Every structure is written in C-alpha cells, then in structure tokens.
Chains A and B, each alone.
Chain A
Amino acid sequence: MTYFESYLTVGAFIALGALLVGVVLVLARALAPSNPSAEKLSTYECGVDPVGSGWSQTYVRYYLYGLLFVIFDIEAVFIFPWAIQLESLGMFGLIEMLVFIGILVLGLVYAIRKGVLRWE
C-alpha cells in the first residue's frame, strides 16, 4: 500500500458514504408522501406561530471559547510532531516543550482568573 493508494481508499469511502446517503434519501423521496401545506412548512415553536426571525443573537461567551480553542488547537499542531520526535530531540527538546506548555498553562490560568470562563 503506497502513500497515495491509502488516500484513494479515503476517496472511495467518501464517495461510498455520499452514495449511501444519497440512495437512501432518493428512495425515501420516492416512497414517502409529500403534501406540504403552509402550516406544515412553518418553523416549529411549541405549536404557536413563530415569533420573529429564526436567527437571533447569541451569547458572546461562545465566541470567547472559540478564541481560546484556537490557541489550544495550534498548540496541538506543535506538540504532535514533538511527541513523535522526542527521542531524537533529546533533553533540550523536552525542556523547551515544557517551557512552551508552561506558558500555555499560564495563559489558561490568566483567562480563568480574568473570568473569561465564568458563565452567568
């Protein structure tokens, strides 16, 4: 199995997955009844007529979590190669990464102390 052949399997799987969902949905379309009415197509809201638009403002705190996540995700990009190569990087690499992770922990502690993660 060469490098590209492995990814060929990924392609085959994506195609097969899409095909499966597609076939099922087309089959369901053929079998299921379809008689839409205005009430049926309206948005669900506890049985009453929907009030306002479906897209409302959401809490800004979700956004802050997104920002924090980016930091930790980029960190993973650095840590995974390091974890694989620790053997050849030696003691220097180990201490360097500990300093890096230490800075990140400080960042997280700062965020917690600032109340960024408080939810009220």
Chain B
Amino acid sequence: MDWIDFLIVVLRVVVVFALLLLVTIINVWAERKVVADFQNRIGPERAGPFGMLQTVADGLKLFFKESIIPARSEVGMFLLAPFLAVIPAFLIFLNIPFGRPITIGDRVIPLQGMDVDVGLLIVLAMSSMAVYAVVIAGWSSGSKYPLLGGVRATAQAISYEAAMGLAMVAVVLFSATQAADAPGGTLSLAELVERQSGTWAGIIPRWNLIPQIVAFVIFFIAAIAETNRAPFDLVEAEQELVGGYFTEYSGMRFAMFFLAEYINIFSMSALTATLFLGGWNGPTWDGVLPVWLSALLPFVWFMIKTYVLVFIFFWIRATLPRLRYDQLMALGWKRLIPGALGWLMLTAVVLGYRRFGLPWS
C-alpha cells in the first residue's frame, strides 16, 4: 500500500464523517419542520433561511451549558457512555456503500467507508453495541428513571434485534440466487447492492423490496424499534421516565446521545435502502451525460431513497401513539419473530424448489 492508497483511505474516512455530521444537522431540522407541518405549526424559522441553522444554534448553545455529574453516579461509566453511544453509530454507516465505485486512472475507489466480507454482520454487531451505551448510561446515573429506561432498552433492543437478524437472513438467502456470475451468498453490502442492479422485464427494478416485501416490513419495524424512535420510544418515554437513560445527562454529554440517535436514524434508513431498495442503483445515462454527472447520480439516488425512508421515520413518529410495554413485547415476540421465521422458511423452500426441484424427484 503506497501513500496514495493511504491518502484515499483517509479521505474516505473523512468524507463519511463529514457526511454524517452534515446529514445530522439537516435531519434534526427536517424532523422539527416535518413534524411541525403535521401538527399545523410553523416550526423553527428564525435561525438562517427556513430555520435551517437551528440545529447549529442549539449545538452551540449546549457548549455553554454546565455538564453535571451527579454525586451518586458511577463516574467512570457515566463518562464512558456518550463515547459508546456515538462510536457504534458512526461504524454502522461506515459499511454502507453510498455511490458507485469511481475509476480514476487504474484505481477503483469504492464510495464506502470500508468493504469487508462480513459487512452485514458488523452492522448487526454495531447495532447491538449501541445497547451498551444505553444500559451503562442508565445504570451509572444512580437514579431511578435512567435505570428503568436502561432495563427497558435492553429488553426492547434484544427482542427486535432477533427479528431484524432473521429478516436479514431472508434477504441474504434471496440475493444468493441473484448473482450473475459468482453463485453463492454474500454478506458484503457492496456485493448485495451490485446484485440488485438491472431490471426485471425491462421496467421493474431488481430491488429486493418486491420479492422480499415481508422481510422489508419486518426489518423496517425492527429498525424503528432499534433506534428507539416513536412509537417504540418507551426507553425515553418523557411522561413516565422524564428522559429515560439520559435524565441525568446535561450539556454536551446529552448532545452526544442526541447525535447518536440521529445518526442511527440515518444509518438505519441507509441500510434499509441498501438491502431492499437497491442502494445506489438507478439510471445514470452513462455516455449521454457528462462523466462527472454520471458519477454523481448514484449518490443522488442513494440519498433520495434514504430520505424517503427517513421521512417515513418522521411520519410514523407524528402519526402513531406510543405502545404500551406489554404490547411492545407481544409485537416483537409473537408477531415479528414468528413472522420472520415463517418468511425465512418460505423463502428457503421456494428458492430450494427452483434450484433443486422436489426432494423426492
């Protein structure tokens, strides 16, 4: 690896980082604006054009706010939790390809933080790592509300993670049969996107969404629950638990949890778009448009797909009331997990029949 390769790696890391921070600033504003529209309010409008700088203003304000460490907290763990919240959130997006690989000279630069063979497993692992932040924050505060929030978060996250993983398996299984040249499945997200390129019958895009619609619904519900968003935000239910696990956090430490939540919303939407909506696939009109425009278009398609899903996140938040805790658990264990298992078996049987024929023939 010479220094140019090294520079490219550094550049990719910095680009992904900058992208995540930028979209977080936009997303916080977008959510407030969208929810305000749903509720027939105006929303933020003072800071910058259409209030777009509201997030920046809020962030700056938090710099000047006192960060309290309660006397009864476990200080070490209390200070560690914000780090544990933010880092896994960054690492999820690192795996997601956000554009078509660019070829400059003889170098092919993938527009992705990293392309490892087990990308999907890393995503799954990181989304479980996020639970540790919540549990540690809740426990180390030495206070009743955060503790309850933390315990609730654990049970919720592990329940929906099981459903999420099973929905992912169905997608992996299906895409194993979609490869043109190399048979066999893959966990690499770049490869999963590649296999969704092209169309069926000339007009229907070969997205996993259509044959895997049930897995999509299960996965998306589980993604909302994993990010602790309404209607699954029992973890931080304001009316019952004040703020849940970050009740005792203030100032910039609180802002770190907030940042992690919004990065997670974006990453989960991006992951859903990658697995089910074909990622960056879309018409690029190579040869018709200028080269730079054709290279940029996949990124645009990726962002459009992701933001449709982000909008659905906001839409669901504005529409549905919070679930009761027993309803939350019943939905996870009695609907989503059996549903995902059933869908996985159905997918396996259909694919097996198409590939191997009947077992007794």
Q: A residues near B, CB below 8 A?
A: 1, 3, 5-10, 12-14, 16-18, 20-22, 24-25, 27-29, 31-36, 38, 40-45, 50, 53-56, 58-59, 62, 65-66, 68-69, 72-73, 76, 79-80, 83-88, 90-91, 94-95, 97-98, 101-102, 104-105, 108, 112, 117-120
Choice from B124, B142, B187 contacting A55 with Cβ under 8 Å: B142
Main secondary structure of the interface of A (DSSP, over half): helix
CB nearest to A35 among chain B residues? B66
Query: Which residues of B pack against A, CB within 8 Å?
Result: 1, 9-10, 12-13, 16-17, 62-72, 82-83, 86-87, 90-91, 94, 110, 113-116, 121-122, 124, 139, 141-145, 147-148, 151-152, 154-155, 158-159, 161-162, 165-166, 169, 172-173, 176-177, 183-187, 242, 247-248, 251-253, 255-256, 325-326, 329-330, 333-334, 337-338, 341, 344-345, 348-349, 351-352, 355-356, 359
**A11 and B177 alpha carbons, distance in the complex (Å):** 33
Minimum CB–CB distance from B285 to chain A (whole Å) comes to 29
A44 and B242: CB pair below 8 A?
Answer: yes
Indicate whether A119 sits within 8 Å of B326 (C-beta atoms), given known contacts A84-B187, A91-B359: yes
Take A83-B176, A120-B326 as given contacts and tell me if A31 and B64 are in contact as well, using a CB distance cutoff of 8 Å.
yes
> In angstroms, how far is the closest chain A Cβ from the Cβ of B358?
9
- Residue among B10, B144, B159, B349 making CB contact with A54, cutoff 8 Å: B144
Q: A69-B161, A117-B334 are in contact. List 20 more A-B contacts (CB 8 A).
A: A1-B110, A1-B114, A7-B116, A9-B13, A21-B82, A21-B87, A25-B67, A25-B252, A32-B251, A43-B70, A43-B143, A43-B144, A54-B144, A69-B162, A73-B161, A80-B169, A84-B185, A94-B349, A119-B325, A119-B330
